[in-house]
Amino acid sequence: MKPFLVKKLRIKEWDEAVSGLWLAENEEWVLLRRLYDYRPDGYVLVAKSYIESDTKSRSEAQTARVLKLKGIDNAVPEGFMFGNVVQMFQCIQQQYQLFQFQDEEDSSFCGQLRDYDETGFRINSLSPRAELDLDYDLWFRFNELVTIDFENDYLASLALLWQDKARRKWKINQRIQSN
């Protein structure tokens, strides 16, 4: 049986730790079910190269017990597979539409993969107002990614707003064209 562990990961030069229910890991990444107190909200991949320490205290043991009592699953999300960053982005995007990531400077970005080369990538950026920027021109380096979040409430809410705005825009365009 797979261990039921809650971990608190301290990230180099970040003030806040990343807490979550350990699901899986490979050589480069740790996959956690992100936790806020006793409440899971989505998943987070954490780059091992940025982990400063890995805490398993009484507090984490108690949280693990509560999650187990609640019947929270510690399975890897269906369809998720480790791979290189592009493969993971594509998998996440196909399954959940959006991902969010943080870089070394703790800056956060949300969107979908647009294009990439051997060292970095660009995204179609989705703003906090659910406005998609298809011309977002900032390049990100793979080796500067610290976390990748997916399937959380914030991203699901943004996706709903984005879809609703697209539907409304389509209806307005249809009315204009029919007049």
Going from N- to C-terminal start, the domains of the chain cover 6-178
Q: Which CATH architecture has domain 6-178?
A: Roll (2.30)
Q: Provide CB contacts within 8 A for 110, sequence distance 6+.
A: 98, 99, 100, 125, 126, 127, 128, 155, 158
Q: How many helices (DSSP H) and strands (DSSP E) are in the chain? A: 3, 11
Residue 176: predicted pLDDT: 67
Q: What is the pLDDT of residues 106-165, one digit of tens each?
A: 789 999 999 999 999 999 999 999 999 999 989 999 999 999 999 999 999 999 999 998
Cα 104 from Cα 110, distance rounded (Å) = 15
Q: What is the pLDDT of residues 169-178, one digit of tens each?
A: 766 666 666 6
Q: Is the pLDDT of residue 10 over 90?
A: yes
Local structure of 163: helix, strand or coil: helix
Residue 179: predicted pLDDT: 59
Q: What is the pLDDT of residues 22-65, one digit of tens each?
A: 999 999 999 999 999 899 999 999 999 999 998 777 888 899 99
CA dist list (Å): 21 to 37, 53, 66, 156, 166:
11, 16, 11, 20, 35
Beta bridge partners of 9: 18, 54
List alpha helices for the chain, DSSP H.
58-70, 85-96, 153-178
Q: Is the pLDDT of residue 18 over 80?
A: yes
Selection from 140, 102, 137, 138 nearest residue 119 by Cα: 140
Residue 54: predicted pLDDT: 86
